[in-house]
Amino acid sequence: MRDLSRDNRYLSINTATFGGQWDLTRIVDGLGRHGIPGISPWRDQVQALGLRESVRLVKDHGLVVTGLCRGGMFTALDRAGLAKALDDNRRAVDEAAALGARCLVLVVGGLIPHSRDVIAARALVREGIAALLPHARAAGVPLAIEPLHPMYAADRACINTLAQANDICDELGEGMGVAIDVYHTWWDPALAAEIARAGKGGRILAFHISDWLVPTTDLLYDRGMMGDGVIDLPGLRSLVEENGFDGFCEVEIFSRDNWWKRPPDEILATVSERFRTVC
Ligand code: ZN
């Protein structure tokens, strides 16, 4: 396991962590002030600034784009809407390529509207990813399926375990990988085995960190700062690293009533300190 206690060399921030308080330009300035070399932007922030200007910004600051958030949502419309979803996903791949992102994160989508059929949703997701993959391969952008905690199966992602994500990677092959988010996966009894399986295929493309608070008061907006909850962060980091992951730890905290209300510089200072002491 790498010693990350001395510096921020492998630290990245997902821009959602600021809760919209800063635009991309201010975020990049903030990362510079706090010596944080990695960023994972959301597409709306990139689009607000403009793709070309965003590319220039991250390159000028020498930032590593550890992922672009996000593609996916293959089930958001319905089967007929898949073509539209795919168009948007192809644009996301192109944006990721322009930014030099290490992967495009896929939050795959929940149930098809007006449907109770989670099996059909999963089939549509698989079909959507398979249809997107040739474009991603041609652009050199790996696709990272992010399994989400089962509480999001209805509305955000019907891929809920690393095993499911690994199955799709096995089936589709080259160009596929996974984003392992501790918040979504820490509880899974098969996690160690599935991390090993992902590692064997060289498929661990991203590692997202935050913490699980007890009690959790909101399904979406109550993620904790590392160290404030119950996730064994060093244990999980050592698992991914033992299985070949040597990339960045990407902090991603959705915290509407706590961190998003704090000054972004305080968020960055706390993230840096916790990263070195807790993770
Ligand atoms: Zn994540």
CA distances for 39 relative to 22, 109, 153, 176, angstroms: 14, 24, 27, 21
Protein residues within 5 Å, CB atom, of ion ligand 1: 181, 208, 252
Determine, yes or no, domain membership for 61: yes
| pLDDT the model gives residue 80 | 80
- Note whether 8 and 37 are within 8 A (CB): yes
pTM beyond 0.85, yes or no: yes
Instruction: Answer whether 79's CB lies under 8 Å from 131's CB.
Output: no
CA of 204 to the centre of ligand 1 (A): 13
Distance 134 CA to ligand 1 centre (A): 24
Q: Which residues, given as ranges, of the chain have pLDDT below 70?
A: none
**According to the model, what pLDDT value does residue 274 have?**
97
Residues 6+ apart with CB under 8 A from 25: 49, 57
Measure 250 CA to ligand 1 centroid, in angstroms.
Answer: 8
In a domain, 175, yes or no: yes
Report if residue 3 sits inside a domain.
no
Pairing of strands 11-14, 38-40: parallel
Give yes or no for a contact between 175 and 207, defined as CB atoms under 8 angstroms apart.
no
Which residue range forms the structural domain that includes residue 96?
11-277
Question: What CATH number is given to the structural domain containing 148?
Answer: 3.20.20.150
Q: How many structural domains are present in the chain?
A: 1
Segment 113-138, tens digit of pLDDT: 999 999 999 999 999 999 999 999 99
Residue 242 maps to a domain: yes
pLDDT of residue 78: 78
| Residue 6 resides in a domain | no
- How many angstroms separate the alpha carbon of residue 182 from the centre of ligand 1? 8
Ligand 1 centroid to Cα of residue 152, in Å, is 13
232 Cα to the center of ligand 1, angstroms: 16
| Six token digits for residue 272 | 């840096």
The H helix count followed by the E strand count for the chain is: 10, 9
CB-CB contact of 162 with 188 (8 Å): yes
- Give domain status of residue 268, yes or no: yes
pLDDT given for residue 279 in this prediction: 92
